[in-house]
Protein backbone atom coordinates (compact mmCIF):
# COMPACT_ATOMS: atom_id res chain seq x y z
CA UNK A 1 0.00 0.00 0.00
CA UNK A 2 1.55 3.32 -1.03
CA UNK A 3 1.72 6.33 1.23
CA UNK A 4 -1.14 7.94 -0.65
CA UNK A 5 -3.57 5.06 -0.25
CA UNK A 6 -2.55 4.63 3.41
CA UNK A 7 -3.26 8.29 4.07
CA UNK A 8 -6.53 8.22 2.12
CA UNK A 9 -7.62 5.16 4.12
CA UNK A 10 -6.76 7.04 7.32
CA UNK A 11 -8.83 10.02 6.18
CA UNK A 12 -11.88 7.88 5.46
CA UNK A 13 -11.49 6.03 8.76
CA UNK A 14 -11.19 9.37 10.55
CA UNK A 15 -14.52 10.53 9.12
CA UNK A 16 -16.15 7.38 10.46
CA UNK A 17 -14.51 7.48 13.89
CA UNK A 18 -14.72 11.16 14.81
CA UNK A 19 -17.27 13.99 15.03
CA UNK A 20 -17.02 14.48 11.27
CA UNK A 21 -19.52 11.68 10.69
CA UNK A 22 -22.19 13.71 12.52
CA UNK A 23 -21.79 17.06 10.79
CA UNK A 24 -22.41 16.97 7.01
CA UNK A 25 -23.85 13.40 6.82
CA UNK A 26 -26.03 14.03 9.89
CA UNK A 27 -27.34 17.30 8.46
CA UNK A 28 -28.07 15.87 5.00
CA UNK A 29 -29.94 12.93 6.48
CA UNK A 30 -31.91 15.16 8.84
CA UNK A 31 -32.98 17.47 6.00
CA UNK A 32 -33.78 14.51 3.72
CA UNK A 33 -36.31 13.29 6.28
CA UNK A 34 -37.59 16.61 7.61
CA UNK A 35 -37.94 18.55 4.33
CA UNK A 36 -40.90 16.55 2.90
CA UNK A 37 -42.60 16.63 6.30
CA UNK A 38 -42.16 20.39 6.60
CA UNK A 39 -43.40 20.88 3.02
CA UNK A 40 -46.49 18.84 3.87
CA UNK A 41 -47.22 20.62 7.16
CA UNK A 42 -46.40 24.23 6.25
CA UNK A 43 -49.70 25.08 4.38
CA UNK A 44 -51.72 23.47 7.19
CA UNK A 45 -49.87 25.47 9.82
CA UNK A 46 -50.41 28.72 7.91
CA UNK A 47 -54.10 27.91 7.38
CA UNK A 48 -54.65 27.12 11.05
CA UNK A 49 -52.99 30.39 12.05
CA UNK A 50 -55.17 32.28 9.58
CA UNK A 51 -58.33 30.67 10.98
CA UNK A 52 -57.68 32.28 14.34
CA UNK A 53 -57.70 35.74 12.69
CA UNK A 54 -61.33 36.82 11.96
CA UNK A 55 -61.86 38.08 8.42
CA UNK A 56 -58.56 36.68 7.09
CA UNK A 57 -58.69 34.00 4.46
CA UNK A 58 -55.53 32.38 3.17
CA UNK A 59 -55.79 30.25 0.10
CA UNK A 60 -52.78 28.08 -0.51
CA UNK A 61 -52.38 25.45 -3.16
CA UNK A 62 -52.04 21.93 -1.77
CA UNK A 63 -48.40 20.92 -1.26
CA UNK A 64 -46.78 18.61 -3.80
CA UNK A 65 -43.56 16.65 -4.24
CA UNK A 66 -42.04 19.78 -5.86
CA UNK A 67 -42.31 21.58 -2.52
CA UNK A 68 -40.68 18.64 -0.73
CA UNK A 69 -37.74 18.54 -3.15
CA UNK A 70 -37.50 22.33 -3.13
CA UNK A 71 -37.34 22.44 0.67
CA UNK A 72 -34.62 19.76 0.73
CA UNK A 73 -32.46 21.53 -1.86
CA UNK A 74 -32.93 24.89 -0.14
CA UNK A 75 -31.51 23.39 3.06
CA UNK A 76 -28.63 21.80 1.17
CA UNK A 77 -27.82 25.13 -0.50
CA UNK A 78 -27.83 27.12 2.70
CA UNK A 79 -27.06 25.18 5.87
CA UNK A 80 -25.09 22.23 4.44
CA UNK A 81 -22.85 24.37 2.24
CA UNK A 82 -21.95 26.54 5.24
CA UNK A 83 -21.10 23.33 7.14
CA UNK A 84 -18.92 22.29 4.19
CA UNK A 85 -17.06 25.61 4.48
CA UNK A 86 -16.56 25.33 8.24
CA UNK A 87 -15.38 21.70 8.23
CA UNK A 88 -13.23 22.21 5.11
CA UNK A 89 -11.43 25.11 6.78
CA UNK A 90 -9.65 22.70 9.13
CA UNK A 91 -8.74 20.09 6.53
CA UNK A 92 -5.05 21.02 6.37
CA UNK A 93 -4.67 23.80 8.93
CA UNK A 94 -6.09 21.44 11.57
CA UNK A 95 -3.41 18.82 10.88
CA UNK A 96 -0.78 21.53 10.95
CA UNK A 97 -1.98 22.90 14.28
CA UNK A 98 -2.20 19.45 15.86
CA UNK A 99 1.32 18.52 14.69
CA UNK A 100 0.03 15.42 12.90
CA UNK A 101 1.08 16.81 9.51
CA UNK A 102 4.71 16.83 10.71
CA UNK A 103 4.73 13.15 11.64
CA UNK A 104 2.92 12.15 8.44
CA UNK A 105 4.90 14.30 6.01
CA UNK A 106 8.28 13.08 7.25
CA UNK A 107 7.22 9.65 5.96
CA UNK A 108 7.17 8.70 2.25
CA UNK A 109 4.12 10.82 1.45
CA UNK A 110 4.49 13.81 -0.85
CA UNK A 111 2.74 17.02 0.10
CA UNK A 112 0.80 16.93 -3.16
CA UNK A 113 -0.52 13.46 -2.30
CA UNK A 114 -1.46 14.74 1.17
CA UNK A 115 -3.55 17.56 -0.33
CA UNK A 116 -5.16 15.35 -2.98
CA UNK A 117 -6.11 12.72 -0.40
CA UNK A 118 -7.80 15.46 1.62
CA UNK A 119 -9.80 16.63 -1.42
CA UNK A 120 -10.73 13.08 -2.47
CA UNK A 121 -11.84 11.95 1.01
CA UNK A 122 -14.03 15.01 1.50
CA UNK A 123 -15.45 14.65 -2.02
CA UNK A 124 -16.25 10.98 -1.46
CA UNK A 125 -18.02 11.92 1.75
CA UNK A 126 -20.10 14.54 -0.05
CA UNK A 127 -20.97 12.18 -2.92
CA UNK A 128 -22.08 9.52 -0.43
CA UNK A 129 -24.10 12.12 1.52
CA UNK A 130 -25.76 13.44 -1.65
CA UNK A 131 -26.66 9.92 -2.84
CA UNK A 132 -28.01 8.87 0.55
CA UNK A 133 -29.83 12.16 1.07
CA UNK A 134 -31.48 12.02 -2.36
CA UNK A 135 -32.58 8.41 -1.82
CA UNK A 136 -34.02 9.11 1.62
CA UNK A 137 -35.74 12.30 0.46
CA UNK A 138 -37.28 10.45 -2.52
CA UNK A 139 -38.60 7.67 -0.28
CA UNK A 140 -40.07 10.03 2.37
CA UNK A 141 -41.62 12.22 -0.36
CA UNK A 142 -43.22 9.18 -1.97
CA UNK A 143 -44.63 8.04 1.38
CA UNK A 144 -46.16 11.46 2.07
CA UNK A 145 -47.14 12.69 -1.40
CA UNK A 146 -47.50 9.48 -3.37
CA UNK A 147 -45.63 8.66 -6.61
CA UNK A 148 -43.22 11.41 -7.64
CA UNK A 149 -40.68 11.59 -10.47
CA UNK A 150 -37.07 11.03 -9.40
CA UNK A 151 -35.24 12.81 -12.23
CA UNK A 152 -35.91 16.43 -11.08
CA UNK A 153 -34.48 15.55 -7.66
CA UNK A 154 -31.46 13.78 -9.15
CA UNK A 155 -30.71 16.63 -11.56
CA UNK A 156 -30.99 19.21 -8.80
CA UNK A 157 -28.82 17.19 -6.36
CA UNK A 158 -26.17 16.66 -9.05
CA UNK A 159 -26.01 20.40 -9.73
CA UNK A 160 -25.75 21.06 -5.99
CA UNK A 161 -23.06 18.40 -5.70
CA UNK A 162 -21.00 20.01 -8.47
CA UNK A 163 -21.00 23.29 -6.53
CA UNK A 164 -20.30 21.51 -3.22
CA UNK A 165 -17.29 19.68 -4.71
CA UNK A 166 -15.97 23.01 -5.99
CA UNK A 167 -16.42 24.46 -2.51
CA UNK A 168 -14.48 21.52 -0.97
CA UNK A 169 -11.52 22.14 -3.28
CA UNK A 170 -11.58 25.90 -2.72
CA UNK A 171 -11.72 25.33 1.05
CA UNK A 172 -8.77 22.92 0.87
CA UNK A 173 -6.83 25.67 -0.91
CA UNK A 174 -7.73 28.21 1.79
CA UNK A 175 -6.86 25.67 4.49
CA UNK A 176 -3.46 25.04 2.90
CA UNK A 177 -2.86 28.76 2.52
CA UNK A 178 -3.72 29.86 6.07
CA UNK A 179 -2.28 28.30 9.20
CA UNK A 180 -5.30 29.50 11.20
CA UNK A 181 -8.55 27.60 10.70
CA UNK A 182 -10.55 30.77 11.46
CA UNK A 183 -8.91 32.70 8.64
CA UNK A 184 -9.63 29.89 6.16
CA UNK A 185 -13.25 29.68 7.35
CA UNK A 186 -13.70 33.46 7.08
CA UNK A 187 -12.39 33.56 3.55
CA UNK A 188 -14.49 30.52 2.62
CA UNK A 189 -17.68 32.13 3.91
CA UNK A 190 -16.82 35.31 2.03
CA UNK A 191 -16.31 33.27 -1.15
CA UNK A 192 -19.67 31.52 -0.63
CA UNK A 193 -21.72 34.64 0.06
CA UNK A 194 -20.06 36.68 -2.67
CA UNK A 195 -20.81 33.92 -5.19
CA UNK A 196 -24.45 34.02 -4.03
CA UNK A 197 -24.53 37.80 -4.53
CA UNK A 198 -22.99 37.59 -7.98
CA UNK A 199 -25.85 35.16 -8.76
CA UNK A 200 -28.07 38.16 -9.53
CA UNK A 201 -25.89 39.10 -12.52
CA UNK A 202 -27.15 37.21 -15.58
CA UNK A 203 -23.85 36.81 -17.51
CA UNK A 204 -22.17 35.30 -14.43
CA UNK A 205 -25.07 32.88 -14.04
CA UNK A 206 -24.94 31.85 -17.67
CA UNK A 207 -21.19 31.51 -18.18
CA UNK A 208 -19.64 30.61 -14.80
CA UNK A 209 -20.00 28.12 -11.95
CA UNK A 210 -22.10 30.78 -10.17
CA UNK A 211 -24.98 29.52 -12.33
CA UNK A 212 -25.05 26.11 -10.65
CA UNK A 213 -27.09 27.16 -7.61
CA UNK A 214 -29.82 29.11 -9.51
CA UNK A 215 -30.07 26.11 -11.87
CA UNK A 216 -31.01 23.86 -8.93
CA UNK A 217 -34.41 25.55 -8.48
CA UNK A 218 -35.10 25.37 -12.23
CA UNK A 219 -34.24 21.65 -12.29
CA UNK A 220 -36.77 20.91 -9.53
CA UNK A 221 -39.46 22.89 -11.31
CA UNK A 222 -38.79 20.80 -14.40
CA UNK A 223 -37.69 23.82 -16.43
CA UNK A 224 -35.03 23.39 -19.13
CA UNK A 225 -31.56 24.03 -17.74
CA UNK A 226 -28.43 24.68 -19.78
CA UNK A 227 -25.45 23.99 -17.56
CA UNK A 228 -22.61 23.45 -20.02
CA UNK A 229 -20.73 26.62 -19.09
CA UNK A 230 -21.41 26.45 -15.33
CA UNK A 231 -20.28 22.80 -15.19
CA UNK A 232 -17.23 23.38 -17.42
CA UNK A 233 -16.09 26.38 -15.37
CA UNK A 234 -16.73 24.45 -12.12
CA UNK A 235 -14.45 21.63 -13.32
CA UNK A 236 -11.81 24.19 -14.36
CA UNK A 237 -12.11 25.91 -10.97
CA UNK A 238 -11.73 22.56 -9.16
CA UNK A 239 -8.56 21.76 -11.12
CA UNK A 240 -7.09 25.24 -10.57
CA UNK A 241 -7.94 25.25 -6.83
CA UNK A 242 -6.46 21.77 -6.32
CA UNK A 243 -3.26 22.72 -8.17
CA UNK A 244 -3.01 25.97 -6.20
CA UNK A 245 -3.54 24.10 -2.91
CA UNK A 246 -0.70 21.68 -3.76
CA UNK A 247 1.61 24.51 -4.86
CA UNK A 248 0.93 26.65 -1.78
CA UNK A 249 1.33 23.72 0.61
CA UNK A 250 4.58 22.59 -1.01
CA UNK A 251 6.08 26.01 -0.35
CA UNK A 252 5.02 26.22 3.28
CA UNK A 253 7.12 25.47 6.31
CA UNK A 254 5.63 23.14 8.88
CA UNK B 1 27.88 10.70 0.96
CA UNK B 2 31.54 11.57 1.50
CA UNK B 3 33.80 9.64 3.84
CA UNK B 4 30.88 7.83 5.46
CA UNK B 5 29.03 10.92 6.63
CA UNK B 6 25.35 10.39 7.33
CA UNK B 7 24.75 14.14 7.57
CA UNK B 8 26.76 16.88 5.88
CA UNK B 9 25.86 20.49 6.54
CA UNK B 10 27.77 23.30 4.79
CA UNK B 11 27.22 26.98 5.54
CA UNK B 12 23.59 26.41 6.49
CA UNK B 13 21.65 29.60 7.11
CA UNK B 14 18.12 30.32 8.21
CA UNK B 15 16.70 33.81 8.57
CA UNK B 16 13.37 34.85 10.03
CA UNK B 17 13.08 38.44 8.85
CA UNK B 18 16.17 40.19 10.17
CA UNK B 19 16.90 37.47 12.74
CA UNK B 20 19.47 34.82 11.88
CA UNK B 21 18.37 31.56 13.48
CA UNK B 22 21.23 29.67 11.79
CA UNK B 23 24.34 31.59 10.89
CA UNK B 24 26.31 29.43 8.47
CA UNK B 25 26.68 26.19 10.37
CA UNK B 26 29.02 23.44 9.19
CA UNK B 27 28.73 19.90 10.47
CA UNK B 28 29.56 16.33 9.44
CA UNK B 29 27.99 13.43 11.30
CA UNK B 30 29.80 10.11 10.73
CA UNK B 31 27.60 7.14 9.83
CA UNK B 32 26.83 4.70 12.62
CA UNK B 33 27.53 7.15 15.43
CA UNK B 34 25.34 8.46 18.19
CA UNK B 35 25.72 12.21 17.75
CA UNK B 36 24.56 14.75 20.30
CA UNK B 37 23.41 18.16 19.11
CA UNK B 38 23.68 20.37 22.14
CA UNK B 39 22.63 23.91 22.71
CA UNK B 40 20.65 26.21 24.96
CA UNK B 41 17.01 26.96 24.18
CA UNK B 42 16.72 29.07 21.04
CA UNK B 43 20.17 28.09 19.73
CA UNK B 44 18.73 26.74 16.47
CA UNK B 45 18.64 22.97 17.14
CA UNK B 46 14.99 22.42 16.16
CA UNK B 47 15.36 24.69 13.13
CA UNK B 48 18.30 22.57 11.93
CA UNK B 49 16.30 19.36 12.36
CA UNK B 50 13.29 20.86 10.56
CA UNK B 51 15.52 21.75 7.60
CA UNK B 52 17.05 18.26 7.57
CA UNK B 53 13.58 16.68 7.47
CA UNK B 54 12.29 19.02 4.75
CA UNK B 55 9.76 20.69 7.04
CA UNK B 56 11.53 24.05 6.72
CA UNK B 57 13.66 25.55 4.00
CA UNK B 58 17.19 26.91 4.34
CA UNK B 59 17.92 30.55 3.49
CA UNK B 60 21.44 29.63 2.40
CA UNK B 61 24.03 26.86 2.39
CA UNK B 62 23.31 23.20 1.87
CA UNK B 63 22.45 20.06 3.81
CA UNK B 64 22.77 16.47 2.65
CA UNK B 65 21.58 13.39 4.44
CA UNK B 66 22.58 9.89 3.36
CA UNK B 67 24.24 11.53 0.36
CA UNK B 68 21.15 13.35 -0.91
CA UNK B 69 20.34 17.05 -0.86
CA UNK B 70 17.48 17.63 1.56
CA UNK B 71 15.85 20.22 -0.71
CA UNK B 72 15.33 17.50 -3.32
CA UNK B 73 14.39 14.83 -0.77
CA UNK B 74 11.69 12.52 -2.05
CA UNK B 75 9.91 9.44 -0.79
CA UNK B 76 12.99 7.28 -1.38
CA UNK B 77 15.06 9.33 1.10
CA UNK B 78 12.25 9.72 3.62
CA UNK B 79 11.80 5.94 3.68
CA UNK B 80 15.30 5.66 5.20
CA UNK B 81 14.81 8.22 7.96
CA UNK B 82 13.09 8.11 11.31
CA UNK B 83 12.09 11.40 12.93
CA UNK B 84 10.73 12.39 16.29
CA UNK B 85 9.74 16.07 16.68
CA UNK B 86 10.06 17.81 20.04
CA UNK B 87 6.28 17.66 20.59
CA UNK B 88 4.91 14.79 18.49
CA UNK B 89 1.30 15.16 17.31
CA UNK B 90 -0.89 12.07 16.97
CA UNK B 91 -4.43 11.32 15.84
CA UNK B 92 -6.15 11.21 19.21
CA UNK B 93 -8.82 8.77 18.05
CA UNK B 94 -6.29 6.06 17.14
CA UNK B 95 -4.82 3.53 19.54
CA UNK B 96 -1.05 3.01 19.66
CA UNK B 97 -1.16 -0.22 17.56
CA UNK B 98 -3.43 1.50 15.01
CA UNK B 99 -1.01 4.41 14.72
CA UNK B 100 2.01 2.13 14.23
CA UNK B 101 0.09 0.13 11.59
CA UNK B 102 -0.75 3.42 9.85
CA UNK B 103 2.92 4.46 9.89
CA UNK B 104 3.94 1.04 8.57
CA UNK B 105 1.49 1.41 5.68
CA UNK B 106 2.86 4.91 4.92
CA UNK B 107 6.26 3.25 4.53
CA UNK B 108 4.73 0.60 2.27
CA UNK B 109 5.90 -2.25 4.51
CA UNK B 110 4.41 -5.75 4.06
CA UNK B 111 1.56 -6.61 6.43
CA UNK B 112 3.56 -9.29 8.29
CA UNK B 113 6.48 -6.91 8.86
CA UNK B 114 4.09 -4.24 10.15
CA UNK B 115 2.53 -6.66 12.64
CA UNK B 116 5.91 -7.98 13.77
CA UNK B 117 7.47 -4.53 14.23
CA UNK B 118 4.34 -3.09 15.86
CA UNK B 119 4.46 -5.80 18.53
CA UNK B 120 8.19 -5.34 19.11
CA UNK B 121 8.00 -1.55 19.26
CA UNK B 122 4.96 -1.51 21.54
CA UNK B 123 6.90 -3.79 23.85
CA UNK B 124 9.95 -1.52 23.70
CA UNK B 125 7.78 1.53 24.43
CA UNK B 126 5.97 -0.22 27.30
CA UNK B 127 2.61 0.29 25.58
CA UNK B 128 1.65 -3.33 24.84
CA UNK B 129 -1.13 -3.52 27.39
CA UNK B 130 -2.46 0.01 26.77
CA UNK B 131 -5.86 -0.14 25.05
CA UNK B 132 -6.97 3.49 25.36
CA UNK B 133 -6.93 5.94 22.45
CA UNK B 134 -3.82 8.14 22.11
CA UNK B 135 -5.93 11.19 23.04
CA UNK B 136 -5.85 9.92 26.63
CA UNK B 137 -2.08 9.36 26.76
CA UNK B 138 0.28 11.22 29.10
CA UNK B 139 3.10 13.25 27.56
CA UNK B 140 5.59 10.55 28.46
CA UNK B 141 3.49 7.86 26.77
CA UNK B 142 3.23 10.02 23.65
CA UNK B 143 6.98 10.54 23.66
CA UNK B 144 7.60 6.78 23.88
CA UNK B 145 5.11 6.16 21.07
CA UNK B 146 6.87 8.90 19.10
CA UNK B 147 10.17 7.06 19.40
CA UNK B 148 8.46 3.78 18.43
CA UNK B 149 6.98 5.30 15.26
CA UNK B 150 10.38 6.76 14.34
CA UNK B 151 11.82 3.22 14.38
CA UNK B 152 8.99 1.58 12.40
CA UNK B 153 10.96 1.58 9.12
CA UNK B 154 14.24 0.40 10.74
CA UNK B 155 15.81 3.70 9.60
CA UNK B 156 19.41 4.23 8.54
CA UNK B 157 19.27 7.67 10.14
CA UNK B 158 17.30 8.54 13.24
CA UNK B 159 16.66 12.22 13.95
CA UNK B 160 15.40 12.91 17.46
CA UNK B 161 14.47 16.35 18.76
CA UNK B 162 14.69 16.44 22.55
CA UNK B 163 13.68 12.77 22.89
CA UNK B 164 14.01 12.56 26.67
CA UNK B 165 12.71 15.93 27.75
CA UNK B 166 9.21 14.70 28.69
CA UNK B 167 10.22 11.42 30.29
CA UNK B 168 10.57 10.38 33.92
CA UNK B 169 13.99 9.04 35.04
CA UNK B 170 13.09 5.42 34.26
CA UNK B 171 11.62 6.28 30.85
CA UNK B 172 14.69 8.41 30.14
CA UNK B 173 17.05 5.56 30.96
CA UNK B 174 15.07 3.19 28.74
CA UNK B 175 15.20 5.60 25.81
CA UNK B 176 18.93 6.18 26.25
CA UNK B 177 19.52 2.41 26.43
CA UNK B 178 17.52 2.03 23.24
CA UNK B 179 19.64 4.73 21.55
CA UNK B 180 22.85 2.98 22.66
CA UNK B 181 21.54 -0.33 21.27
CA UNK B 182 21.30 1.26 17.80
CA UNK B 183 24.98 2.27 17.72
CA UNK B 184 26.79 0.89 14.68
CA UNK B 185 23.56 -0.02 12.85
CA UNK B 186 21.81 3.33 12.72
CA UNK B 187 23.15 6.85 12.84
CA UNK B 188 21.42 8.67 15.67
CA UNK B 189 21.40 12.46 15.64
CA UNK B 190 19.64 13.88 18.64
CA UNK B 191 19.23 17.35 19.94
CA UNK B 192 19.03 18.01 23.63
CA UNK B 193 19.93 20.43 26.35
CA UNK B 194 20.30 17.62 28.91
CA UNK B 195 24.07 17.34 29.19
CA UNK B 196 24.02 14.15 31.23
CA UNK B 197 22.20 12.33 28.40
CA UNK B 198 24.83 13.38 25.87
CA UNK B 199 27.71 12.43 28.15
CA UNK B 200 26.12 9.04 28.71
CA UNK B 201 25.37 7.88 25.17
CA UNK B 202 27.06 10.04 22.55
CA UNK B 203 30.22 9.32 20.60
CA UNK B 204 30.51 12.88 19.34
CA UNK B 205 28.86 16.17 20.02
CA UNK B 206 28.32 19.52 18.39
CA UNK B 207 27.46 22.56 20.46
CA UNK B 208 25.26 25.15 18.84
CA UNK B 209 25.09 28.66 20.22
CA UNK B 210 23.18 31.57 18.70
CA UNK B 211 22.95 29.81 15.35
CA UNK B 212 26.61 28.85 15.14
CA UNK B 213 28.47 25.62 15.85
CA UNK B 214 30.96 26.60 18.55
CA UNK B 215 32.36 23.10 19.06
CA UNK B 216 32.27 19.82 17.14
CA UNK B 217 34.30 16.84 18.34
CA UNK B 218 34.23 13.64 20.32
CA UNK B 219 33.40 14.23 23.96
CA UNK B 220 36.90 13.21 25.07
CA UNK B 221 38.50 15.50 22.50
CA UNK B 222 36.25 18.34 23.50
CA UNK B 223 37.23 18.01 27.15
CA UNK B 224 40.89 17.77 26.22
CA UNK B 225 40.63 20.80 24.00
CA UNK B 226 38.77 22.90 26.52
CA UNK B 227 40.86 22.24 29.61
CA UNK B 228 42.75 19.36 31.15
CA UNK B 229 41.59 19.60 34.70
CA UNK B 230 39.41 21.38 37.12
CA UNK B 231 40.70 22.33 40.57
CA UNK B 232 38.58 23.26 43.54
CA UNK B 233 40.24 25.22 46.34
CA UNK B 234 38.62 26.25 49.59
CA UNK B 235 40.48 28.76 51.74
CA UNK B 236 40.25 30.46 55.09
CA UNK B 237 40.27 34.20 54.50
CA UNK B 238 39.46 36.37 51.52
CA UNK B 239 39.29 34.12 48.43
CA UNK B 240 39.33 37.22 46.23
CA UNK B 241 43.04 37.61 46.99
CA UNK B 242 43.72 34.14 45.60
CA UNK B 243 41.58 34.81 42.51
CA UNK B 244 43.50 38.00 41.84
CA UNK B 245 46.83 36.24 42.23
CA UNK B 246 45.96 33.40 39.87
CA UNK B 247 44.05 35.34 37.24
CA UNK B 248 47.17 36.34 35.29
CA UNK B 249 48.70 32.85 35.14
CA UNK B 250 48.98 31.45 31.59
CA UNK B 251 47.93 27.92 32.68
CA UNK B 252 44.63 29.21 34.14
CA UNK B 253 41.79 29.03 31.62
CA UNK B 254 38.96 30.27 33.83
CA UNK B 255 38.29 31.19 37.45
CA UNK B 256 35.00 31.04 39.30
CA UNK B 257 34.66 32.22 42.89
CA UNK B 258 31.80 31.48 45.27
CA UNK B 259 32.36 32.61 48.85
CA UNK B 260 35.51 30.98 50.17
CA UNK B 261 35.68 28.55 47.22
CA UNK B 262 37.64 29.10 43.99
CA UNK B 263 37.20 26.79 41.01
CA UNK B 264 39.88 26.79 38.32
CA UNK B 265 39.91 25.28 34.83
CA UNK B 266 43.57 24.68 34.06
CA UNK B 267 45.55 23.60 31.03
CA UNK B 268 48.52 22.13 32.97
CA UNK B 269 47.38 20.15 35.99
CA UNK B 270 50.85 19.26 37.28
CA UNK B 271 52.01 22.88 37.24
CA UNK B 272 48.76 24.00 38.87
CA UNK B 273 49.18 21.50 41.70
CA UNK B 274 52.56 23.06 42.49
CA UNK B 275 51.62 26.68 41.99
CA UNK B 276 48.23 26.90 43.72
CA UNK B 277 49.42 26.05 47.28
CA UNK B 278 52.23 28.58 46.80
CA UNK B 279 49.69 31.20 45.75
CA UNK B 280 47.58 30.48 48.83
CA UNK B 281 50.64 31.07 51.03
CA UNK B 282 51.53 34.29 49.12
CA UNK B 283 48.01 35.60 49.76
CA UNK B 284 48.31 34.84 53.47
CA UNK B 285 45.37 32.43 53.43
CA UNK B 286 44.78 29.04 55.05
CA UNK B 287 44.14 26.04 52.79
CA UNK B 288 41.02 24.14 53.85
CA UNK B 289 40.40 21.95 50.76
CA UNK B 290 42.25 21.24 47.52
CA UNK B 291 40.68 18.85 44.96
CA UNK B 292 41.37 18.08 41.35
CA UNK B 293 39.15 16.34 38.79
CA UNK B 294 38.28 16.08 35.08
CA UNK B 295 36.10 18.71 33.54
CA UNK B 296 32.55 17.61 32.83
CA UNK B 297 30.67 18.27 29.61
CA UNK B 298 28.67 20.79 31.60
CA UNK B 299 31.88 22.71 32.35
CA UNK B 300 32.72 22.71 28.65
CA UNK B 301 29.20 23.77 27.73
CA UNK B 302 29.18 26.64 30.23
CA UNK B 303 32.62 27.74 29.05
CA UNK B 304 31.40 27.86 25.46
CA UNK B 305 27.95 29.37 25.75
CA UNK B 306 28.22 31.29 29.00
CA UNK B 307 26.80 30.57 32.46
CA UNK B 308 23.50 32.39 31.90
CA UNK B 309 22.39 30.43 28.83
CA UNK B 310 20.08 27.44 29.19
- Please write the tens of the pLDDT for every residue from B194-253: 888 888 899 999 999 999 999 898 888 877 766 557 888 999 989 999 999 998 888 888
ipTM computed for the complex:
0.89
Q: Is 80 exceeded by the pLDDT of residue B305?
A: no
| Of A64-78, A128-142, B83-97, B282-296, the least confident | B282-296
CB contact under 8 A, A1 and B108: yes
CB contact under 8 A, A14 and B91: yes
| Of A162-176, B19-33, B277-291, the least confident | B277-291
Please give the share of chain B, as a percent, with pLDDT higher than 90. Answer: 55
Which band of pLDDT confidence, cut at 50, 70 and 90, is reported for residue B22? Answer: very high
Contact of A102 with chain B, judged by CB distance below 8 Å, is answered with: yes
Q: Is 70 exceeded by the pLDDT of residue B45?
A: yes
Quick one: closest CA in B to A97, which residue?
A: B89
CB contact under 8 A, A253 and B89: no
DSSP chain B: --TTEEEEEEEEEEEETTEEEEEEEEEEEETT-EEEEE--TTSSHHHHHHHHTTSS--SEEEEEETTEEGGG--HHHHTTEEEE-SS----TTSBHHHHHHHHHHHTT--HHHHHHHHHHHHHHTT-TT--SBGGG--HHHHHHHHHHHHTTT--SEEEEESTTTT--HHHHHHHHHHHHHTTTTSEEEEEES-HHHHHHH-SEEEEEETTEEEEEEEHHHHHHHH-SEEEEEEEES-HHHHHHHHTT-TTEEEEEEETTEEEEEES-HHHHHHHHHHHHHHTT-EEEEEEEEPPPHHHHHHHHH-TT--
CB contact under 8 A, B79 and A108: yes
Which band of pLDDT confidence, cut at 50, 70 and 90, is reported for residue B307? Answer: low
Task: Please compute the mean of the pLDDT values over residues A154-178 and round it to a whole number.
Answer: 97
Task: Please compute the mean of the pLDDT values over residues B52-67 and round it to a whole number.
Answer: 95
Task: Please compute the mean of the pLDDT values over residues A55-84 and round it to a whole number.
Answer: 91
Which band of pLDDT confidence, cut at 50, 70 and 90, is reported for residue B1? Answer: very low
Which band of pLDDT confidence, cut at 50, 70 and 90, is reported for residue B308? Answer: low
Report the residue from A3, A105, A110 with minimal CB separation from B108: A3
Q: Is 50 exceeded by the pLDDT of residue A127?
A: yes
How distant is the Cα of B38 from the closest Cα of chain A, in angstroms?
A: 22
Which band of pLDDT confidence, cut at 50, 70 and 90, is reported for residue A100? Answer: very high
Contact of A254 with chain B, judged by CB distance below 8 Å, is answered with: yes
Quick one: closest CA in B to A10, which residue?
A: B102
CB contact under 8 A, B91 and A3: no
How distant is the Cα of A252 from the closest Cα of chain B, in angstroms?
A: 8
Contact of A7 with chain B, judged by CB distance below 8 Å, is answered with: yes
Q: Is 70 exceeded by the pLDDT of residue A1?
A: no
pLDDT at B231: 86
pLDDT at B2: 47
Q: Is 70 exceeded by the pLDDT of residue B310?
A: no
Contact of A6 with chain B, judged by CB distance below 8 Å, is answered with: yes
pLDDT at B254: 82
Task: Please compute the mean of the pLDDT values over residues B185-198 and round it to a whole number.
Answer: 90
More confident site: A236 or B181? A236
Contact of A18 with chain B, judged by CB distance below 8 Å, is answered with: yes
Report the residue from A17, A107, A254 with minimal CB separation from B78: A107
How distant is the Cα of B199 from the closest Cα of chain A, in angstroms?
A: 28
| Of A190-194, B118-122, B247-251, the least confident | B247-251
Q: Is 60 exceeded by the pLDDT of residue A181?
A: yes
Amino acid sequence: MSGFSAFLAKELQEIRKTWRIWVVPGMVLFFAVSSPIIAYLTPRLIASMAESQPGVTVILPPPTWTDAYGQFLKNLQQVVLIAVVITGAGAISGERAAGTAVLTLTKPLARGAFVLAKIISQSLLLIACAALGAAVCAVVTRVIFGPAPISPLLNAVLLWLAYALLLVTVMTFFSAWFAARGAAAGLGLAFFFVSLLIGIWAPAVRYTFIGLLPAVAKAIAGQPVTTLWPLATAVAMIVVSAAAAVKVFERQEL
Amino acid sequence: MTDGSAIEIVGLEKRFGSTKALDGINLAVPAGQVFGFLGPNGAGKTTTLRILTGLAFASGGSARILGQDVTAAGNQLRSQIGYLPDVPGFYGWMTAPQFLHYVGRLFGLPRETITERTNALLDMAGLTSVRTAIGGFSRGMKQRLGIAQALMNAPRLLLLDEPTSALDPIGRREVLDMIVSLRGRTTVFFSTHILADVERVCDSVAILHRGQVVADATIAELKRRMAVDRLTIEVEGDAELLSADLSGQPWVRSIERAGSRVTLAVTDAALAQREVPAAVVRAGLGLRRFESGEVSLEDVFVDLVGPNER
